[in-house]
Structure 1
Amino acid sequence: MTITYFGYGSLVNASTVPAGAEIIPGRLSGWVREWRFCGMWENGQGRCALSVRRQPGAEIWGVMTREQPSRMGALEKRESRYEKISEIAQDFRCEAEKKPGPDDLFLFKATLENERWGCQVHPILQTYLDCVLAGFFQIWGEAGIRHFLQTTDGWHVPVLNDRSTPHYPRAVRLERDLEALIDDMLEPLNLTYVDPT
Structure 2
Amino acid sequence: MGYDTSAQVSDTLAPPRAAGSYRAMTDRHPAFFGYGSLVNRATHDYAPATPARLSGWRRVWRHTRLRDWPYLSAEPAEAEIDGLIAAVPGDDWATLDLREAAYRRHPLSHDRLTTAPGWAQRIEIYAVDEAHGLPPNAHPILLSYLDTVVQGFLREFGPAGVAGFFATTAGWCALLDDRAAPHYPRSQPTTTAERRLVDDHAEALGLTRLPS
The TM-score with structure 1 as length reference comes to 0.86
Task: Identify if the C-alpha distance between structure 1 residues 117 and 152 changes in structure 2 by more than 3 Å, giving closer, same or farther.
Answer: farther
Report the alpha carbon displacement of residue 116 of structure 1 after superposing the two structures with TM: 4.0
- The residue correspondences of 1:88-99 to structure 2 (distance < 5 A) are 88-94=109-115
| Pairing 1:129–2:151 present | no
- Among residues 51, 66, 75, which one is paired with 2:73 in the alignment? 51
| Pairing 1:181–2:197 present | yes
Gaps of 5+ in 1: none
Task: Find the counterpart in structure 2 of residue 28 from structure 1.
Answer: 54
Higher relative CO (Cα under 8 Å, sequence separation at least 6) belongs to 2
- The residue correspondences of 1:1-197 to structure 2 (distance < 5 A) are 1-18=28-45, 21-41=47-67, 46-56=68-78, 58-69=79-90, 71-94=92-115, 102=120, 104-120=122-138, 122-155=139-172, 157-196=173-212
Aligned partners of 1:28 and 1:61 also within 8 Å = yes
Report the alpha carbon displacement of residue 99 of structure 1 after superposing the two structures with TM: 6.6
Aligned partners of 1:92 and 1:100 also within 8 Å = no
Aligned residues: 185
- Counterpart residue identity of residue 131, structure 2: E
Runs of 4+ residues over 3 Å off in structure 1: 98-103, 115-118
Higher strand fraction (1 or 2): 1
**Cα RMSD after superposing both structures:** 2.0
Report the alpha carbon displacement of residue 39 of structure 1 after superposing the two structures with TM: 3.8
Task: Find the counterpart in structure 1 of residue 10 from structure 2.
Answer: none
Q: Deviation string for 1:37-92 (max 9, x for gaps)?
A: 42434xxxx11011111112x10000101132364111000011100011332211
Task: Identify if the C-alpha distance between structure 1 residues 61 and 73 changes in structure 2 by more than 3 Å, giving closer, same or farther.
Answer: same
Identity over aligned pairs, percent: 34
The TM-score with structure 2 as length reference comes to 0.80
Gaps of 5+ in 2: 1-27
How far, CA to CA, are the matches of 1:75 and 1:159 in structure 2? 26
